[in-house]
Amino acid sequence: MLQVLNPATEEPVATVPAATPADVDAAVARAAAAQRGWAAAAPADRARLLRRFASVVDGHIEELARLEVTEAGHTIGNARWEAGNVRDLLDFAAGGVERLNGRQIPVAGGLDITILEPLGVVGVIAPWNFPMPIAAWATAPALAAGNAVILKPAETTPLTALRLAELALEAGLPEGLFQVLPGTGPVAGNALVEHPGIAKIAFTGSTRVGKSIMAKCAGQVKRVTLELGGKSPNIVFADADLEAAAAAAPMAFLDNSGQDCCARTRILVQRSAYDRFMELLTPAIEEIVVGDPSDERTQMGPLISRAQLDRVRSYVTDDLTGIRGKAPEGPGFWFPPTVLTDVPEDAPCAVEEIFGPVAVVLPFEDEADAIRLANATEYGLSGSIWTRDVGRALRASRAVRAGNLSVNSHSSVRYWTPFGGYQQSGLGRELGPDALTAFTETKNVFISTEGPAL
C-alpha cells in the first residue's frame, strides 16, 4: 500500500494499492490489445477523442488542482495552471495527429516514402514534483502518435494521475489505452522497464535512477527518453536591469518550493554589481509568503516529504551565511527560502541538486568567467541570462551548455517549444513541434516504378 500524506499538515490523505509485477503484466496485455485498435482508427477520430479528453479535463480543473494541493502541497495558483497545462498538452497533441507526416525523398527508378509508425505500448515513469504536467508531457503525444500508455506516478503523488485515467474513460478513450499503475519504483517502475512488451520508457526523475533505467533499457535496446536533474545558473551581468533581475530571482528558484528541475539555484552575479544586487535581493527573499498552499496569497508551500526536508536541511549547515526567509512552525514539511553567500564554487550546496528552496550566490569577473562558472556542472537543463547587451545575450546563449535558456526572464517550459537536457540532465527532447515524432519509428519504403528487378 502507498500512503499519501498532505505535506502541509502531515495528515494522511489516502492509501492506494501498489502494483505488483503481475499487475504490470496484465496492464501491458490490456494496453497492447487497445493499442492495435487505436493505431488503426482514423486520425480524425483519434484527434477528436483526445480533444474530448482535453475538454473533460477542462471541466475538472478546480477538482484536479485541489487534489494536487492536498497530495503535493502545491500552491493553488500553480496547481490550477498545472491542470490547465494537461488540457493544453492534450489539445496540442490532438492537433498533431493529422499532421504526423512522413516524407517523400527523391530516388531514381521509383518512389521513396517514410512512414511514421507508433511504437506500441509506452511506459511513462513520472516524479512527484509536477505530477500532472510531467505525466502529460509524454502521455499526450504518445497517445496522439497511436501508442497506448501505462503511467506509473511517483509513490507520494498518485491521486491526480488516477483521476486523469478516470477522466480519459469518461471522455470515451478506449479501455486499456491509458492506464495508471501506482507503485514503487523498484517494483512497478522496474517491471515496466524490464517488460519486453513495453517499447519505450519516458522517464522523468533523478539522474541516479535515470542512469540505471538507461542501462536496463540497453538490454532490450528499448527506446528511452530521460528528463533528469539540474543545477541551473541565473547569470546577472552588471549591465542588466538589476531591479528586474533581483525581483525575478527569488521565484526562479522558490517556485514549487524549489522542487523544480529548472530551478535557477546558482545565482551568478558580476562582481561590480554584486553589492547592489544583494541589497535588492535581500528584501525580495524576506518578503516571500510561505504558508498554507490553498491560500490564494501564498507564494511557496511545503516540501513534499520528511525525507526531502531532511535532505534539504543537510545542505544548509550552521556555518553557512546568507539570507533566510520565513516559514511556518509546527506540522508540515516547511523550509524557509534560503540564499547562501560566500560559499566555495565547489561546495556541495553549489554543485549538487538540492531540490528545495535553497540557492547560492557566486560572484564572477567578466563574460568568460561567467560562462566558465555556468558550465562548471555535470548538468545542463536550463539557465537565465540577464543583460541589456544583445550581443552578449546571444554569445552567452550559445556558450552555456543547457537545453533551455531564457534571456531577461526565467521562462523555460512551454508545451509548443522543445524541452530537455544537455549532459547528465537528460537524453532526448519532449514537447515542441516534434513531440509526437519521439513516440514513432520511421519506416522507409522504396516502391519501384520500373517493374520487378531482373
Q: Give residues in contact with ligand NAD (CB under 6 A).
A: 125-130, 134, 152, 154-155, 184-186, 189-190, 193, 204-206, 209, 212-213, 227-230, 261, 353, 355, 381, 421, 425-426
68 is catalytic: no
The active-site residue, picked from 71, 155, 227, 430, is 227
Grid coordinates representing 64 are: 484536479
Q: Of the candidates 355, 370, 250, which has an alpha carbon nearest to the alpha carbon of residue 312?
A: 355
Minimum CB distance to ligand NAD, residue 258 (Å): 10
Whichever of 126 and 278 has its CB closer to ligand NAD, that residue is 126
Minimum CB distance to ligand NAD, residue 449 (Å): 46
Element (DSSP H or E) covering residue 346: none
Minimum CB distance to ligand NAD, residue 265 (Å): 11
Alpha helix (H) residue ranges in 316-366: 348-351
**15: Cα separation from own chain's centroid:** 25
Minimum CB distance to ligand NAD, residue 126 (Å): 6
Angstrom distance (rounded) from CA 180 to CA 159 = 10
Q: Do 436 and 89 touch, CB atoms closer than 8 A? A: no
Kindly tell me the sign of the dihedral angle through the C-alpha atoms of 85, 91, 92, 96: positive
Q: Find the residue with minimal CB distance to ligand NAD.
A: 185
Grid coordinates representing 70 are: 492536498
The active-site residue, picked from 71, 82, 217, 261, is 261
Q: Do 354 and 331 touch, CB atoms closer than 8 A? A: no
Whichever of 147 and 308 has its CB closer to ligand NAD, that residue is 308
The cell 540497453 sits on which residue? 218
Whichever of 205 and 363 has its CB closer to ligand NAD, that residue is 205
**447: Cα separation from own chain's centroid:** 42
Minimum CB distance to ligand NAD, residue 365 (Å): 30
Angstrom distance (rounded) from CA 157 to CA 154 = 5
Whole-Å CA distances, 62 to 21, 45, 232: 34, 28, 32
Return all residues near 303 (Cβ < 8 A) that are at least 6 apart: 7, 73, 257, 259, 309, 312, 333, 334, 335, 356
Whichever of 18 and 116 has its CB closer to ligand NAD, that residue is 18
227 is catalytic: yes
Minimum CB distance to ligand NAD, residue 410 (Å): 15
Alpha-carbon Rg for the chain, nearest whole angstrom, is: 23
Whichever of 24 and 125 has its CB closer to ligand NAD, that residue is 125
Q: Do 364 and 373 touch, CB atoms closer than 8 A? A: yes
Classify each residue of 107-121 as buried b or exposed e, where b means 16 or more C-beta atoms within 10 Å of its C-beta. eeeeeeeeebbbbbb
Whichever of 237 and 379 has its CB closer to ligand NAD, that residue is 379
Grid coordinates representing 412 are: 523555460
Q: Do 134 and 413 touch, CB atoms closer than 8 A? A: no
Minimum CB distance to ligand NAD, residue 185 (Å): 2
Whichever of 7 and 421 has its CB closer to ligand NAD, that residue is 421
Q: Of the candidates 404, 385, 403, 383, which has an alpha carbon nearest to the alpha carbon of residue 395?
A: 385
Minimum CB distance to ligand NAD, residue 262 (Å): 7
Angstrom distance (rounded) from CA 407 to CA 286 = 25
Whichever of 68 and 292 has its CB closer to ligand NAD, that residue is 68
- The catalytic residues are 227, 261
